[in-house]
Amino acid sequence: MKNLIKVACVQAAPVFLDLQGTVNKTIQLIADAAKEGVELIAFPETWVPGYPWFLWLDTPAANMPLVYQYHLNSLELNSAQAQQIADAAKQYNMHVVLGFSERDHGSLYISQWIIDNHGETVAVRRKLKATHVERTLFGESDGSSIQVYDTELGRIGALCCWEHLQPLTRYAMYSQHEQIHIAAWPSFSVYGNATAALGPEVNNAASRLYAAEGQCFVLAPCAIVSKEMFELLCTDETKKQLLKMGGGAARIYGPDGRDLVTPLAEDEEGLLITEIDLNHIIFAKTAGDPVGHYSRPDVFQLVFNAQHNTNVIQKAPIQHTPPDLAQHTANSEVEFEGE
């Protein structure tokens, strides 16, 4: 495990609803980060093929044409496009944490793919519970996705968006002694005038709290809504009031909760890059470790089911020895003769 690590956090717009276009942009961002000596790059929630903002703007029936396109442009892990990303991680000696819409046969999941610098999969995790209208498009995961993974860079974990507002999920992650956390966000672009809960201040506070509460480094990549996305999705005046362009608010936090990099403007594309020192976690943990010396297991305990659940439990069929018909006939005859 290394102590000094150069990391990058993406703030950019995907090539919306264009699988290959977004894969190409992904590889370019990995290459750009490599030129700066970066060893770990983090991408926003559903970076491929972009966050489905149309879910928040219209009815399920009206959205079906866009849902169809979204399925077609979501990423399958055994696809040529996925292999291109894995190859890029190896080529540029880069650890990659990629937010993507995962297509698994007929279902979609909000997923994060952790790839090491050899192009090998460390883990693929799925959002435990899709948020609000996301549930009309995406499935959900189980406790097997609430895990922290050992890598050459340290213990890395990841969550998406409002998973950071689930206290028990956070504590389950902290309990695994996470050192680098990827807090992936889409962009803060919808219902801005209606509620602060979906805005940058509240949700960046969640990322910052995660860093201070879990005493770990937090990379919080964040997408932006481009002009092209806005024009595609906002087909009437009402929709133009609900969604805005920009919305980027990528951040990198230290284990004491401080900002480590000057943020970009909310409509600016780029990479937040800094060097982190894992030894700084020691100072934060000394002050208060909520899963160690600062805990009270005699008062509070978390029951955490980390098992993977499957829809079908297939049991092996019983192997019967084929009957010997001649012997069966002979036995029958003997039994008959004995009567």
**Tokens 């909520």 found at:** 290
Nearest-angstrom CA–CA distance, 153 and 114: 12
Pair 189, 199: CB distance under 8 Å: no
Check if 45 is active-site. yes
Instruction: Spot the catalytic one: 39, 45, 163, 178.
Output: 45
Buried-exposed string 132-164: b where 16+ CB fall within 10 A, e elsewhere: ebbeebbbebeeebbbbbebebbbbbbbbbbbb
Phi/psi of residue 157, nearest 5 degrees: -135, 170
Backbone CA torsion sign across 188, 273, 270, 66: negative
The residues assigned a catalytic role are 45
